[in-house]
Amino acid sequence: MMLNKVQVQARINGDDVEFLCEPRQSLLEVLRDTLWLTGTKEGCNNGNCGACSVIMDGVLVDSCLVLGVEAQGKTIQTIEGLSQAGELHPIQQQFLKHAALQCGICTPGLIMATKALLDHNPNPTEHEARLWLAGNLCRCTGYDKIVRAVLDAAQVMKEMP
Amino acid sequence: MTDILHPAETETSYRVIGTRQQRYDATDKVTGRAQYGADIRLPNMLYGKVLRSPHAHAIIKSIDTSAAEALPGVKAVITAADLPDVADKLVDAGEGATTNLRYQSNNVLARDKVLYFGHALAAVCATNAHIAEEALALIKVDYEVLPPVLDVREAMKPDAPILHDHLRTDEMGQKSSAPTNVALHIQHLLGDVDHAFREAAVIVEREVNTAAVHQGYIEPHNATALYNAAGQLTVWCSTQGAFGVRSQLSDILQIPVADVRVMPTEIGGGFGGKISVYLEPLAALLSWKSGHRPVQLTMNRAEDLAATGPTSGSYIRIKLGADTQGHITAAEAYLAYEAGAYPGSFIGSGAAMLLAPYKIANVRIDGYDVVLNKPHVTAYRAPGSSNAAFAAEVLIDELAERCGIDPLEFRLLNCAKEGDRRPDGLLQPRIGMWQTLEAARTHPHYTAPLEGKHTGRGIACAYWDNYGGQSSVSACVNTDGTINLVIGSIDLSGERTATAMQLAETLGITTGQIVPQIGDTNSVGDTEGSYGSRTTFATGWAAYLLGKKIIDELTQRVARLWELSPESITYKDGEFHADNRCISFNEIAAELDHLGGALMVNITARPSGLGPGVATHIVDVEVDPDTGKVDILRYTAIQDAGKAIHPDFVEGQIQGGVVQGIGWALNEAYIYSPEGHLLNTTLLDYRMPTSLDVPMIDTVIVEVPNPYHPYGVRGVGEVPIGPPPAAIANAIYKAVGVWLDVLPMSPANVLEALWKKQVVSGD
């Protein structure tokens, strides 16, 4: 028996988006399977790995722990919306410069988590960065190059007009 | 901080190799555009789910799928009855391991028995994943539950529950007579061990237990298949080896190799855990049975932990003897490795790597491969060697202490050099063992003051053979001088770039002229998977040979243009020369259409001459004596990389390997209930290191070039996971005076060791 779908309106990466979803579907599932925004990744589907991190009304969330219907009226930023007019965001540029990724599956989540960190705290210490990013697991890098990229991104963004 | 040291006098200058180029695939990976297996979206696609055993050991008496098939939205249900009943046949399982085809098929879908918690026994596809999941609940399975065996030493006892009635021990080539869980016994024997122990001035002995751990890649297993009515099967998946998936599918489904096309997507981590197929045959069967619709299966994390990986838990006992000067004269070891539900652990490499960093004249090593009711083990970064290095390197420290020698000096005194006999009988090729030890001794970390009450510093070494194998590459030279390079290897962490750099170096052109891509199985020659630290070595060899062949072909074209014999033409730094004439690579490329047409070149290489990787690590820890928690204060990893093609990538491999090793050392473990239920199936309970758990990982790349590679490459990815558990255990001893003999050295296990010490010493 199919459940009734709910109509949801949200602002995603600057665009007004309408979608239908079942009440049991997570925001992660809606992003990936309904809207085909597959840049947001599924690593555990229970809030433990951070691969599905997105920013909802300015708050970093695991999109697997948010229901699709909860997106109603919300503003959501995903990895697909971070670079503007073909220009990579400074966080993305620093991840490239520092070779802060290997397989890359955790990278979208880590970049969104970094965005949320620097929105809240433009000048984090190494410890503050490590504490904030502890919700985003990376199995390839040992975090060294990621933390360096995050700290350098903070410097670059402070110097931006 | 990274240093690159060149102890050899043979330093060659390169134009491209050794530079830090940006990765070809990195922009797609920071923007979310890179397409991983679970990102595949095909028209009319169905979603599948897998029914898994709630029992660790049971006979399957019957499976009734009728109610699931009747659920609206369900398009197909499969069980082992849908798989061909394959005969026993040995097949390549990657990293030099072999497995029996029947085991491989039964692991994919259990036929008569389920052998571990999470063992797959049916699968469903439906119009969405939720319906498929509902359908699983409607499948009725009648089990006869059997007692499980979960401990490797228990499984070896004669009265243990038997997993496979037909299994007999392969006792160094001879088959035993009675049913058993011991699949294999191997032995390495060198010199006269008993005599050497009788003569030894100092003897130390220790036994250790290590828990099974998972590779822990962040992207779960996935597969998408389209099996059309003509019998052509296309599979998209995240794998370490597309050709390995192709041959496994051909074997398990009993269909011709040419009918299988594997399209490797980007892969979200592997570490050895994405070599065996799990979902791919199920997706194929579901696609066929659902009327040839595409079907996608993805595991959730609980499935991935319960039913894939892990690497072996183990019991290891070692005894070492030394003379009065501190030379190790005798070694005896017994290693029992968990193979999981089917034979085939990495006991071979465990036994071979156990004492490989050292020169010891008298050695006896016995290794056992043991089945028990856990998932069938797969490779995990230098498979088999980390358990062994933990056991050996802790005992080496204890022996050094008993001999009154600094642990680093003790290792320098005993370390192996080129030409020495290894414990497994092979002669040591050129290795950088003493060079990494020497670099450790002179590193500021080794002599830095340690502050704090319960702090300690430890070191440990490790050795990994690395691997060669077959690699294929092909290239089209375009008329503007650019090259499309197709690579048979999977790109786990920069392989497109490392291969293109070796081709660019060979051709004397820039990497900007080369656009590499990873080929599917119809577009490039058969290539072994990206494992065994083989890819930069073997695929790099192939790229070098490809470059030489391109030069040969272009020389022919230049000869035609200049009306000279090819022998009179030379090539250097991107230019062809003869007499006073000169034409650049780009200029001759522009003339290709008039000189015989387009140029496409293929190479398949099978290089031998592996360069083993060796490492020495230094770690500082702080132990909280009230909670047993161990903090990593500082870490330095020193490794012989041969020649570092791309230093950033080498550092990244070392840092990643170290942190995986730290997780193995301190937290990670499979935890089973007595009934064999896996209790920690989430990433909160299977506790891998977070960014907060580790400091920056300093690296020192020592370059002792491998003489059997055109650019001196050794593998680099695997050996760094070896030293951390032992280095940390040695540091814990310095901090609080107890030797840990168990992995993980979790707070509970550290506390227990501290309490035992208090009881013994009466503190």
* pLDDT score of B340: 98
Q: What is the pLDDT, as a whole number, of residue A85? A: 84
Facing residue for A45 by CB, picked from B301, B688, B693? B301
Within 8 A of B219 by CB-CB distance, chain A residues are 41, 43, 51, 103, 105
Query: B691, B697, B716: best mutation site toward chain A, by most A Cβ within 10 Å?
Result: B691
In eight-state DSSP terms, residue B192 is -
Residue B192 burial (C-beta neighbours within 10 Å; 0-12, 13-18, 19+): middle
> B-chain residues within 8 Å CB-CB of A135?
690
pLDDT bin (cut points 50, 70, 90) of residue B9 is very low
Which structure tokens are listed for B205?
A: 């002995």
B660-688: average pLDDT: 98
Q: Does domain A6-79 have CATH number 3.10.20.30?
A: yes
Is the minimum CB–CB distance between A101 and chain B shorter than 8 Å? yes
Q: What is the pLDDT of residues B136-165, one digit of tens each?
A: 999 999 999 999 999 999 999 999 999 999
CA distance, residue A58 to nearest chain B CA (Å): 20
Spatial CA neighbour of B18 closest among B703, B616, B535, B716: B703
Q: What is the mean pLDDT of chain B?
A: 96
Q: Given CA atoms B389, B391, B392, B396 in this order, what sign does their dihedral have?
A: positive
Best mutation target among A128, A140, A145, A150 (most B Cβ atoms within 10 Å) is: A140
Rounded Cα distance, B711 and B705, in Å: 8
Length of chain B, in residues: 763
pLDDT at B11 > cutoff 60? no
The answer to whether the CB atoms of B32 and A78 lie below 8 A apart is yes
Domain coordinates of chain A in residue numbers?
Answer: 6-79, 90-158
Query: Residue B522 pLDDT > 70, yes or no?
Result: yes
User: What is the DSSP code string of A52-93?
Assistant: TEEEETTEEEEGGGSBGGGGTT-EEE-GGGTSBTTBPPHHHH
Q: Are B656 and A40 within 8 A, CB to CB?
A: no
With an 8 Å Cβ cutoff, are A103 and B493 in contact? yes
Q: Do the Cβ atoms of B273 and B563 come closer than 8 Å?
A: no
Q: Which of B2, B28, B29, B682 to mutate to test the interface with A (most CBs of A within 10 A)?
A: B29
**Distance (Å, rounded) from C-alpha B726 to C-alpha B729?**
5
What's the confidence (pLDDT) of residue B632?
98
Q: Is pLDDT of B622 > 50?
A: yes
Q: For B412, phi and psi rounded to 5 degrees?
A: -60, -40
Q: What angle in degrees, to the nearest 10, is found between the helix axes of A90-97 and A107-120?
A: 130
B55 confidence band (pLDDT: 50, 70, 90) = very high
Reply yes or no: is the peptide bond before residue B294 cis, omega within 30 of 0: no
pLDDT attached to residue B704: 96
Chain B within 8 Å of A105 (Cβ-Cβ)? yes
Average pLDDT in the A43-58 region?
97
Q: Where are the beta strands (DSSP E) in B595-668?
A: 599-605, 613-623, 630-640
Collapse the DSSP code of B178 into the 3-class scheme (helix H, G, I; strand E, B; otherwise coil) and give the result: coil
- What was the pLDDT predicted at B8? 46
Q: Is the pLDDT assigned to residue B90 strictly greater than 80? A: no
**pLDDT higher than 90, residue B565:** yes
Mutate to test the interface with A, among B218, B222, B300, B636 (most CBs of A within 10 A): B218
Under an 8 A CB cutoff, do B29 and A142 touch? no
Q: What percent of chain A has pLDDT above 70?
A: 98
Cα–Cα distance measured from residue B366 to residue B315, given in angstroms and rounded to the nearest whole number: 12
**Minimum distance, in Å, between the CA of residue B718 and any CA atom of chain A:** 12
Closest residue in chain B to residue A141, using alpha carbons only: B656
**Average pLDDT score, chain A:** 96
Please give the average per-residue pLDDT across B412-418, as a whole number: 97
Q: What is the rounded distance in angstroms from the CA atom of residue B617 to the CA atom of residue B505? A: 32
* pLDDT tens per residue, range B420-469: 999 999 999 999 999 999 999 999 999 999 999 999 999 999 999 998 99
Q: Residue B523 burial by CB count (10 A; 0-12/13-18/19+): exposed, middle or buried? A: middle
| Mean pLDDT (whole number) for B376-399 | 97
Percent helix, percent strand, percent coil in chain B, to nearest 5 = 30, 25, 40
Inform me whether the pLDDT recorded for A42 exceeds 50: yes
Average pLDDT (B579-589) is: 95
Instruction: Identify whether the C-beta of residue B670 lies closer than 8 Å to the C-beta of residue B310.
Output: yes
Helix (H) or strand (E) holding A129: helix A126-132
Q: What percent of chain B has pLDDT over 90?
A: 93
pLDDT-derived band of residue B544, with 50, 70 and 90 as boundaries?
very high
Q: Which of A13-27, B77-91, B225-239, B392-406 has the lowest mean pLDDT?
A: B77-91
Alpha-carbon dihedral B140, B143, B145, B148, rounded to 10 degrees: -80
Yes or no, beta carbons of B30 and A92 under 8 Å apart:
yes
pLDDT tier for residue B759 given thresholds of 50, 70 and 90: confident
Name the residue facing A143 among B72, B130, B691 (closest C-beta).
Answer: B691
Which residues in chain A have Cβ-Cβ distances shorter than 8 Å to B298? 42
Residue A73: CB partners within 8 Å, gap ≥ 6?
A9, A10
Position A4 scores a pLDDT of 83
A34 interface with B at CB cutoff 8 Å? no
Give B-chain residues touching A130 at CB under 8 angstroms. Answer: 691-692
Between CA B193 and CA B253 the distance in angstroms is 49
**Residue B96: predicted pLDDT:** 62
Least confident interval from B98-102, B403-407, B736-740: B98-102
CA-nearest residue to B720 within chain A is A142
Angstrom CA distances, B411 to A13, B359, B421, B437, B761, stand at 57, 10, 16, 8, 30
- Under the banding of pLDDT at 50, 70 and 90, the label for residue B739 is very high
Amino acid at A20: L
Half-sphere exposure of B365 (CA within 13 A, CB side): 26
pLDDT value at residue B296: 98
Q: pLDDT tens across A84-96, in order?
A: 888 999 999 999 9
Map B540-562 to HEC letters. HHHHHHHHHHHHHHHHHHHHHHH
Answer whether B27 sits within 8 Å of A22, measured CB to CB: no
Q: Extract the tokens encoding B430.
A: 């050129």
- Which residues of chain B neighbour A40 with C-beta distances below 8 Å? 32
Nearest residue to B18 (alpha-carbon basis) of B711, B714, B718, B715? B711
Q: Dihedral of CA B596/B600/B604/B607: which sign? A: positive
pLDDT tops 60 at residue A129: yes
Q: In chain B, which residues have their Cβ closer than 8 Å to the Cβ of A139?
A: 215-218, 269, 271, 656, 660, 688
Task: Give pTM, 2 decimals.
Answer: 0.97
- CB–CB of B27 and A107 under 8 A? no
pLDDT of residue B87: 81
CB atoms within 10 A of CB A58: 10
Query: For strand A15-21 and strand A6-12, is the pairing parallel, antiparallel, or unpaired?
Result: antiparallel
- The pLDDT value recorded for residue B762 is 59
From chain A residues 122-151, the ones with a CB under 8 A of any chain B CB are: 126, 129-131, 133-148
The CATH fold of domain A90-158: DNA polymerase; domain 1 (1.10.150)
**Tens of pLDDT, residues B476-513:** 999 999 999 999 999 999 999 999 999 999 999 999 99
d(CA B542, CA B41): 34
User: Whose CA is closest to B391, among B336, B326, B324, B464?
Assistant: B336
Residue B385, CA distances (Å) to B172, B217, B461, B664, B732 in order: 21, 19, 11, 13, 21
Contact B697 A83 (CB under 8 A): no
Confidence of residue B6 (pLDDT cuts 50, 70, 90): low
* Residue pairs spanning A and B at CB distance below 8 A: 181
The partner residue sitting opposite B682, judged by closest CB among A46, A101, A103, is A46
What residue type is assigned to position B521 of the chain?
A: T
Give the best residue of B21, B23, B27, B30 to mutate against chain A (max A CB count within 10 A): B30
Q: Using CB atoms, which residue from B32, B72, B268 is nearest to A79?
A: B32
Exposure on the CB side of residue B301, measured as CA atoms within 13 A:
24
Q: Which class for A46: exposed (0-12), middle (13-18), buried (19 or more C-beta within 10 A)?
A: middle
CA distance A39 to chain B (A): 4
Question: Could B36 and A105 be called an inter-chain contact, meaning their C-beta atoms sit closer than 8 Å?
Answer: yes
Alpha carbon distance B647, B18 (integer Å): 6
Sign of CA dihedral B267, B268, B269, B275: negative
State the CB neighbour count (10 A cutoff) for residue B627. 11
Q: How confident is the model at residue B99 (pLDDT cuts 50, 70, 90)?
A: confident
* Distance, CA of B603 to CA of B489 (rounded, Å): 13
Say if residue B740's pLDDT is above 70.
Answer: yes
Bridge-based pairing state of the strands B613-623 and B630-640:
antiparallel
Cβ atoms of B272 and B311 within 8 Å: the answer is: yes
Q: Quote the minimal CA–CA distance from A63 to chain B in Å.
A: 15
Asked if residues B305 and B292 have their Cβ atoms less than 8 Å apart, the reply is no
